[in-house]
Amino acid sequence: MSEQLQPQQVGFGTARGCEAAIHATRSFVLSNDNSNSVLVKIDLKNAFNCVDRDVILKEVLDLAPFLYPFAYQCYSGASNLYLKDSLILSQVGAQQGDPLGPLIFCLAIQKAIVALNSPLNVWYLDDGTIGGSPEAVIEDLKKLIPALREIGLEVNPTKCELYACGLVPDASSRSLEELLPGIKKVNKASLSLLGAPIFPDGVSAALQTKKEALVAVRGHLGNLSSHVALTLLRNCFATPRMTYILRTSPSWLFVDDARELDGQLKLTLELVLNVELSEAQWVQAALPVRYGGLGIRRVEDVGLAAFLASSFGAEGLVTRIFSLNGGISPVPFVAEALARWSVTVPGDLRPHNPAVQREWDDVRSKHVYSSLVSGASGADLARLKAIAEPESGAWLHALPSPQLGTMLDNDSLRIAVALRLGAKVCEPHRCGCGAWVAENGHHGLSCRRCAGRFPRHHSINEIVRRAMVSANVPCVLEPPGLSRTDGKRPDGLTLVPWRRGRCLLWDATCVSTFAASHLGQTMRCAGSAAETAAKQKHVKYSALASAYDFVPVALETAGPWGVEARRLFGEIGRRLRERGGDPRSGSYLVQQVSIAVQRGNAAGIMGTFEPGTMQGGLF
């Protein structure tokens, strides 16, 4: 790319460029507070549809000649637009849906922008912001307006905005209003750029707006399946909708507003899941899935990490913007954010790459998770260690689809979430076997009279069989004529060699993480119950080990897998990728197994109720 393209003057639609423009603008207005400087936001009328195509081709040829043959093919002639049955020939503007549209638009306005002399000159596509002394801004507007008109663009004065950093002479105000008649004057609370508040005065209102949007969507989520609603809440309506504000604004300064928003988020989550969360359970639920949470992130947890990552990521570009215009100004609020970080995270641990939000988030999440583990004991300790294993949260990443069999019904989802968070699963009652079932429901995970074990066992083996067939490995379940010393048959056998010329023999089991016989182990090490079960399988199938490659598929109800099960599914996933080409094949397989385990857990717990208190099954 040509060195003539200056990043502060041409925005290519990147998120980092957008954030740099906001940080640079905030730095300018704060450093010029109470001066006579002004800030003008420029809006263009229907910009992408009006820019002259001859100008586009000329600038592409000059600044990015390697793109010219393709651009010439697309823009040298008229393109077709359709209005019902009518055909309209379009001869101006970037074509609708063209992925190069933002780039070629920026190239078209490049010369008009680089001619400006204001200290602040940042553009994000067709949104421009110039700032400086009234005289400098007026002179730039006198050059910019006719220059844009020459390439087919018109400034929309009534949508432009003016912010005065201090007292502006009357003559300058009149000149600005003459150049941009009807320009809107804004104050600190209403000044925003690309949707983000510039001054802290506007952050509280922005958070309140996000809270109101969350409350508005709550009723609609209640009309959906719980699994679908949870997926939408986590990936669309909760923190993802607020990430932009959190990255570009010092939201961490507004603790009360953040907690109020988080309170509404907690209430929404409880309504979606039909699970009551204590404060500790809410803290865990707000962790990323990889740290044992549900991925429903709190503003209080994410705000500081998001702002720091954005600030460090845009720092170089912000510095370049001001250095190219005669000065250097740091990103505002970074020092205050780092001071808050040192208080939040003991030891002031910082990531190796401060421009990556996930690395800041990992530091804090590890600290929160460690705090939860250090304060837990017994079954809670075993649970917290188990759910941090990679396979334990795979079901949370699955897209809920009844056609693919990846959607949990409302009861199964409620039980899966309650077991993961240590919340109340049911009222204490007596199981059909005579044992007492506590409110955590753990007895149902190991009770031999509950119905969940057999459907889960069948479902896991069927998933393995289908995956083998998809990987072009013929296999059979419960192979006839093949049994261990006690007469029981293994779960499955491949009909062609799997490794070293031997056919694969597998047998699946899913043991309770919280059973009294396993709890001492699982409290010390996650997955130890599965490893013990795998060793027992090897002993039972020792007579067949000389002729077959035996692999125990040992899983736990809380999610962890045995080492050999991980290797087997990893190999199946590799073969699926080689055959189908989808790099996510292995992940989908793990998700299906994880969902089968959760369904089995729910069926086991629901099976502890007396006959006649419920109808139907969960499989």
Tokens of 528: 């130890």
pLDDT at 380 over 80: yes
- Please state the φ and ψ torsions of residue 507, each to the nearest 5 degrees: -145, 130
pLDDT at 346 over 70: yes
Which of 331-335, 445-449, 450-454 comes out lowest in average pLDDT?
Answer: 450-454
| pLDDT at residue 90, rounded to an integer | 82
- Please state the φ and ψ torsions of residue 121, each to the nearest 5 degrees: -145, 85
pLDDT at 12 over 50: no
Cα(first)–Cα(last) distance of the chain, in Å? Answer: 58
Helix (H) or strand (E) holding 337: helix 334-344
Task: Please write the tens of the pLDDT for every residue from 522-558.
Answer: 999 999 999 999 999 999 988 888 899 999 999 999 9
How many other CB atoms sit within 10 Å of the CB of residue 334?
16
**What is the pTM (predicted TM-score) of this model?**
0.88
pLDDT at 103 over 70: yes
Mean of the per-residue pLDDT values of the chain:
90
| pLDDT at residue 450, rounded to an integer | 72
What does the angle CA 379 – CA 381 – CA 382 come to, to the nearest 5 degrees? 65
pLDDT confidence of 7, banded at 50, 70, 90?
A: very low
pLDDT confidence of 11, banded at 50, 70, 90?
A: very low
pLDDT confidence of 619, banded at 50, 70, 90?
A: low
pLDDT confidence of 148, banded at 50, 70, 90?
A: very high
Task: Please write the tens of the pLDDT for every residue from 197-214.
Answer: 999 999 999 999 999 999
Please say whether the beta carbons of 594 and 398 come within 8 A: yes
pLDDT confidence of 393, banded at 50, 70, 90?
A: very high
Q: What distance lies between CA 457 and its chain's CA centroid?
A: 33
pLDDT at 164 over 80: yes
Q: Rounded to whole angstroms, how far apart are CA atoms 390 and 289?
A: 9
Average pLDDT over residues 33-52: 91
Average pLDDT over residues 484-488: 72
pLDDT at 314 over 60: yes
| pLDDT at residue 610, rounded to an integer | 75
| pLDDT at residue 328, rounded to an integer | 56
Helix (H) or strand (E) holding 505: strand 502-511
| pLDDT at residue 325, rounded to an integer | 57
Greater confidence, 144 or 96?
144
pLDDT confidence of 413, banded at 50, 70, 90?
A: very high
Unique residue bearing structure tokens 């208080």: 343
Q: Rounded to whole angstroms, how far apart are CA atoms 173 and 208?
A: 33
Average pLDDT over residues 383-396: 95
Which stretch, 182-186, 432-436, 609-613, has highest mean pLDDT? 182-186
pLDDT at 78 over 90: no
Tokens of 375: 């304060």
Q: Rounded to whole angstroms, how far apart are CA atoms 238 and 259?
A: 14
| pLDDT at residue 336, rounded to an integer | 94
| pLDDT at residue 326, rounded to an integer | 55
| pLDDT at residue 327, rounded to an integer | 58
Unique residue bearing structure tokens 């300058």: 172
Greater confidence, 80 or 158?
158
Average pLDDT over residues 127-142: 94
Reduce the DSSP state of residue 462 to 3 states and report it.
Answer: helix
pLDDT at 309 over 60: yes
Task: Please write the tens of the pLDDT for every residue from 232-278.
Answer: 999 999 889 999 999 999 999 999 999 999 999 999 999 999 999 99
How many other CB atoms sit within 10 Å of the CB of residue 494?
21
Q: Please, what's the largest Cα pairwise distance for the chain?
A: 101
